[in-house]
Amino acid sequence: MSIPVIIMGAKGRMGSTLTHLAMESDQFTVSGVVERAEYSKGLETLGCPVMHDLAELLPSCPGATVIDFTAPEVSLDSARKASKTGNPIVIGTTGLSADQQAELETMARDIPIFWSPNMSIGVNALVRILPMLERILGEAYDMEITEIHHHHKKDAPSGTAVKLAQVLAESRGWKMDEVGNYGRQGIIGARPEKELGVHALRGGDVVGDHTVYFFGPGERVEVTHRAHSRENFARGALRAAAWLSSRKPGRLYSMGQLLGE
Ligand SMILES: NC(=O)C1=CN([C@@H]2O[C@H](COP(=O)(O)OP(=O)(O)OC[C@H]3O[C@@H](n4cnc5c(N)ncnc54)[C@H](OP(=O)(O)O)[C@@H]3O)[C@@H](O)[C@H]2O)C=CC1
Ligand SMILES: O=C(O)C1=N[C@H](C(=O)O)C[C@H](O)C1
């Protein structure tokens, strides 16, 4: 049976990748796409309903899973609209504030919601192994993260870098609010032992690179993930949509649960 999906921001980098992958697949039916009126020219060739407001589409698509990779305020609005009709929603948007994150968690009690700052299997494998590396190497190893993205990216650091930093800090019993250092400049003095640096580089068309460094005495370990295309994020989001379609609400789901925590 084919899984009905609605794609938000269908002209965007992720939205267009998702739309084309879903349309090519027998596993999914695109029930409709949503894009702002001034940017939706050309979408009519997709052969599915094209709307400018998700609320106009949802009543005619009961059970369809919304997939939203847009902007924080847009994704929150999509989740509120999906809450009214009971449609599940997969969100990949990053740069959410703590309040927006909390609101998603509240809405996830009533409808199935999946949010992950990175839908690739590779990054989520990294999330799984980092605490083990941290424990083996121990506190003598200073931890830093760098991320590189294309020059269009609006949020920094990336949602993935934020997640990787949280995982590392938690493993060491630290809180990112207390130890995070987001870029250095000037006469800053020696690096405190209890610090975790996160640094964002922007340029060109880089899809998304993340490196975690463990700097120790006489050696360092570097773990890098490089995304070669947006297709791996889109495939992960479609996999999440298929998985979510048979889940009950109750908690905000993420890649950890999909991959079997
Ligand atoms: N979780 C993951 O694996 C990944 C997450 N991301 C995240 O996804 C988000 C989007 O990234 P990307 O695709 O590169 O960004 P884009 O800017 O290319 O796409 C966003 C799209 O949303 C559209 N949009 C904005 N407002 C609305 C609205 N009210 N209704 C419908 N559509 C709207 C934009 O239109 P307009 O151009 O008019 O603003 C645009 O088409 C970012 O937060 C990014 O970090 C990206 C890749 C992977
Ligand atoms: O904006 C992007 O492009 C990406 N955003 C996500 C993030 O902020 O972590 C995931 C990926 O790195 C691409």
Q: Give average pLDDT by consecutive 10-residue segment, the chain, 261 residues.
A: 96 98 98 95 95 97 98 98 98 98 98 98 97 98 98 98 98 98 97 98 98 98 98 98 96 96 78
**What pLDDT score was predicted for residue 82?**
98
**What pLDDT score was predicted for residue 59?**
97
Of 208, 102, 231, give the one whose Cα is nearest residue 161.
208
**What pLDDT score was predicted for residue 261?**
78
C-alpha of residue 244 to centroid of ligand 2, in Å: 21
Q: How far apart are CA 106 and CA 246, in angstroms?
A: 20
CA–centroid distance for 207 within its chain: 13
C-alpha of residue 68 to centroid of ligand 1, in Å: 8
Q: How far apart are CA 87 and CA 159, in angstroms?
A: 25
- What ligand is nearest to the CA atom of residue 57? 1
**What pLDDT score was predicted for residue 1?**
83
Catalytic one of 41, 84, 151, 153: 153
**What pLDDT score was predicted for residue 50?**
97
Our answer on whether the CB atom of 149 is closer than 6 Å to any ligand 2 atom is yes
Catalytic one of 20, 41, 81, 149: 149
**Residue 68, beta-bridge partner list:** 91
**What pLDDT score was predicted for residue 219?**
98
Q: Please list the alpha-helical segments (H only) found in the chain.
A: 13-24, 54-57, 72-85, 98-107, 121-137, 159-171, 176-179, 231-244, 255-258
Do 77 and 103 contact (CB within 8 A), yes or no? no
C-alpha of residue 144 to centroid of ligand 1, in Å: 28
Answer yes or no: 153 catalytic. Answer: yes
For 94, the token pair is 């990053």
Answer yes or no: 248 catalytic. Answer: no
Q: Which residues of 154-168 are buried (b: 16+ CB within 10 A; e: fewer)?
A: ebbbbbbbbbbbbbb
**What pLDDT score was predicted for residue 258?**
96
